[in-house]
Amino acid sequence: MKLIRLYVAGSLLPDHSVMLNIGQSHYLTHVMRVREGDSIAVFNGHDGEWRAEVAAIAKKSVTLQLQECVAAQKNSPDLWLAFAPIKNKTYLVVEKAVELGVSALLAVYTRHAVVKSINREKLMAHAIEAAEQCERHDVPILEEHKDLSYLLAAWPKDRTLLYADESGGGTNLKVLLLPLPQGKYGILVGPEGGFSADEQQLLRLQPQVKAFGMGPRILRADTAAVAALACVQAWLGDWEEQPHYAST
């Protein structure tokens, strides 16, 4: 039976104890109804996955006793997603991006974006919950960029940026990816209203940026992000691997 999984802070070492925060403690005791002696799985993003035993349950806290490492640390592919926050859909984009294995989430505010700010704390909580659910051992970083020019100025020169060109000027994704070497990549998806003419021009001037098309249909921004991530992850080989729990 698969164990409940929780992301925790701090190092994971044999026989060490971990005190959970109020939210996690409430979840275990009042939602999942765990009892002392029950086992759960924990991870912290760099020490692999561990089996822990519920050692003590207090009124507002739960203490775990670490037992053994059950899976070595496995980091997600080095693939970034830059996205314009979407009204009522930003949490969905973050959740699906985490499930699809991105290592970094970069919120960028564009000319036609409806949403002009994010609640980083809530988005990170959503990302952690998605990581716990999907069996990954790490949680992606989350950054904000004032606008597209700031994002591009900070973009690493050795990382190719693939952006979804809704104007129809992008290359077929299969044709675009075929000759490219394996390496560091990022995907950029614009807002509901698409990129402005100035932003399109700015993107075309960047040597490490390549535009791709999204097929014959108009996709919502959240659909475009998920579709592009799935295609690129399949091309990078991420979908060829088996989940670690399949062999346990």
pLDDT tens-place string over residues 100-138: 999 999 999 999 988 989 999 999 999 999 999 999 999
Angstrom CA distances, 107 to 15, 77, 203, stand at: 39, 19, 16
Q: Categorize the per-residue pLDDT at 71 as very low, low, confident or very high, splitting at 50, 70 and 90.
A: very high
CATH class of 79-240: alpha beta
Q: According to the model, what pLDDT value does residue 244 have?
A: 64
- Over residues 4-32, the mean pLDDT reads 94
Q: According to the model, what pLDDT value does residue 248 have?
A: 47
- Over residues 86-109, the mean pLDDT reads 96
Q: What is the pLDDT of residues 206-231, one digit of tens each?
A: 999 999 998 888 889 999 999 999 99
Q: What is the pTM of this model?
A: 0.92
Provide long-range contacts, Cβ within 8 A and 24+ apart, for 11-15. 11/44, 11/47, 12/42, 12/43, 12/44, 12/47, 12/48, 12/50, 12/66, 12/69, 13/47, 13/66, 14/66, 14/67, 14/68, 14/69, 15/65, 15/66
- Over residues 189-208, the mean pLDDT reads 93
Q: What is the pLDDT of residues 135-189, one digit of tens each?
A: 999 999 999 999 999 999 999 999 999 999 988 889 999 999 999 998 999 999 9
- Residues of the chain within CATH 3.40.1280.10 domain(s) are 79-240
CATH class of 5-71: mainly beta
How big is the chain by its Cα radius of gyration, in Å?
20
Q: According to the model, what pLDDT value does residue 218 have?
A: 86
- Residues of the chain within CATH 2.40.240.20 domain(s) are 5-71
Percent of the chain with pLDDT over 90: 83
Residues 195 and 111: beta-carbon distance below 8 Å: yes
